[in-house]
Structure 1
Amino acid sequence: MKKTLLLVILLINVFFASAQSTAEYIEEYADIAQDLAEEHHIPASIILGVAIHESAAGKSKIARYLNNHFGFKGKNSNTEIRSAYRDFPTVDSSYVHFITFLKSRNHFNTLFDKHDQYDFKAWARGIQRGGYARSRTWASQVIALIKKYELYQYDNRPEDYLEPVEPKPVYHAKKKSRRTYTVRKGDNLGSIAKRNKTTVKALMSKNGLKSSALKPGQKLKL
């Protein structure tokens, strides 16, 4: 019983420590995110959300040793860890590079004209479509972080701002094609059923037949 209680207390402490460290991360880097957002017209929530996701709120190895908070690959001169990720002189320079990267790549630079600086959902999905990450759920994960930590509060949205309504996907039911067979001379229900992988009983039921007699030219539902 005591072991179970201690385990529960430990898990609670870990949860709150994680939440606290993320809150501290947001407080530390909210200013640079907002400065970049204002200058380049991109949601600050996206900058913070991607940074939290890619760096585990500053706790990942590449964040701690390489100042890399956005998962950029490349050469590094660090001797403490072996990594395929590039290093940055400061965390702030990593943030600046994120914006430079988006604006210099054809897959992403159209987002600056296409979306406003408040629609974080559209930005997240657009960045994913551009190939920023391999995971198909990357955008959903970033959006979830933005909502969880209410990062949209750093976007300085106008009071009358309304989030764009997301169109619901429309699914069109496929119409079942009705197959028919035209009876030819010499046909019988058994041979027709065999060729069309069905049964005599099914053919008679579908076509309302009371006997197995057929006439050439007669159409049967299969």
Structure 2
Amino acid sequence: MKNIFTFCLLLLSVITTKAQDTEDYIAEHVEVAQELMRDHKIPASIILAVAIHESAAGNSRIAQHLNNHFGVKGPNNNADIRSAYRDYESDEESYNHFVELMETRAPFNGLFGKYDQYDYKGWARGIQRSGYAQSRTWASQVIAMVDKYDLYQYDERPEDYVAPVYKAPVYHRKKRSTSRIYIVKAGDNLGAIAKKKGTTVKTLMKKNGMKRANLKPGQRIKF
């Protein structure tokens, strides 16, 4: 019982430390995020949330060694770590470069005319749709980060601001084709194939768009 209690305390300590690390990260970088928001009209909450998500609140290897907080790939002249990710002189340079990418690269630059500087949900989904991340849940994870740490409080929203309402995205799995394929062999005929597959010649011809029952070796027949 004592061992279980000790384990629970240790687990709680780890969780609390991680939360404190994220809070410390926010406190350390909120000013640069807000300054970029005021100058470039991209929500500070989005800048912070993307940085937290991509750098594990500054704990990732590329954040620690390359000052790369946004998972941006590019030239790396760092002697300590070989990586496809770009290295920066400072955290602030990484933050500035992220916003620069949003402003200068299509289709990201189209987001500035579509979303205002307070619409963090629109920005998150727009950045994902523009190809920033391959994961379908990336935007949802970034939005959850904003909500968890109340990052929208740094967006300096007007008191009368009404946030747009977005429907949650719905992903549909592709339906697998129910058709099966038979490869015609020498000597085959449509009647024999139909009998073997438990169907009729008429059904096979209709399903395969055939006007005649003639077959040739290698032909693919749906059944």
Give the TM bin, normalised by the shorter chain: 0.7 to 0.9
Q: Judging changes above 3 Å, is the alpha-carbon distance between structure 1 residues 123 and 80 closer, same or farther for their aligned structure 2 residues?
A: same
1:131-210 matched pairs, under 5 angstroms = 131-167=131-167
State how far apart, in whole Å, the 1-side matches of 2:139 and 2:110 are.
Answer: 17
State how far apart, in whole Å, the 1-side matches of 2:33 and 2:15 are.
Answer: 26
Deviation at 1:168, TM superposition (A): 7.1
Structure 2 match to 1:72 = 72
State how far apart, in whole Å, the 2-side matches of 1:2 and 1:102 are.
Answer: 53
Deviation at 1:129, TM superposition (A): 0.2
Q: Which has the larger radius of gyration?
A: 1
SS at match of 1:35: helix
State how far apart, in whole Å, the 2-side matches of 1:98 and 1:68 are.
Answer: 10
Deviation at 1:55, TM superposition (A): 0.4
Structure 1 match to 2:57 = 57
Deviation at 1:106, TM superposition (A): 1.1
Amino acid in the other structure paired with 2:11: L
Deviations 1:96-150 (A, max 9, x none): 0001101111111011011110000000000000000111100000000000000
Percent of aligned pairs with the same amino acid: 59
Deviation at 1:8, TM superposition (A): 0.6
Q: Judging changes above 3 Å, is the alpha-carbon distance between structure 1 residues 167 and 21 closer, same or farther for their aligned structure 2 residues?
A: closer
Deviation at 1:69, TM superposition (A): 0.3
Deviation at 1:75, TM superposition (A): 2.2
1:11 aligns to 2:47 (yes or no): no
Deviation at 1:166, TM superposition (A): 2.1
SS at match of 1:48: helix
Amino acid in the other structure paired with 1:83: S
Structure 1 match to 2:125 = 125
SS at match of 1:5: helix
Amino acid in the other structure paired with 2:9: I
1:35 aligns to 2:35 (yes or no): yes
Structure 2 match to 1:102 = 102
Tell me the TM-score normalized by structure 1: 0.75
Tell me the TM-score normalized by structure 2: 0.74
Q: Judging changes above 3 Å, is the alpha-carbon distance between structure 1 residues 112 and 82 closer, same or farther for their aligned structure 2 residues?
A: same
SS at match of 1:113: coil
Q: Judging changes above 3 Å, is the alpha-carbon distance between structure 1 residues 17 and 167 closer, same or farther for their aligned structure 2 residues?
A: closer
SS at match of 1:114: coil
Structure 1 match to 2:85 = 85
SS at match of 2:112: helix
Structure 2 residue ranges without an equivalent (≥5) = 171-198, 204-223
Amino acid in the other structure paired with 2:82: R
Structure 2 match to 1:23 = 23
State how far apart, in whole Å, the 2-side matches of 1:82 and 1:115 are.
Answer: 37
State how far apart, in whole Å, the 2-side matches of 1:23 and 1:163 are.
Answer: 25
Structure 2 match to 1:209 = none
Structure 1 residue ranges without an equivalent (≥5) = 171-193, 198-222
Amino acid in the other structure paired with 2:53: H
Structure 1 match to 2:186 = none
Amino acid in the other structure paired with 1:137: T
> Runs in 1 of length 4+ with deviation above 6 angstroms?
194-197
Q: Judging changes above 3 Å, is the alpha-carbon distance between structure 1 residues 54 and 167 closer, same or farther for their aligned structure 2 residues?
A: closer
Q: Judging changes above 3 Å, is the alpha-carbon distance between structure 1 residues 147 and 169 closer, same or farther for their aligned structure 2 residues?
A: closer
Deviation at 1:82, TM superposition (A): 2.1
Structure 2 match to 1:206 = none
Deviation at 1:167, TM superposition (A): 4.6
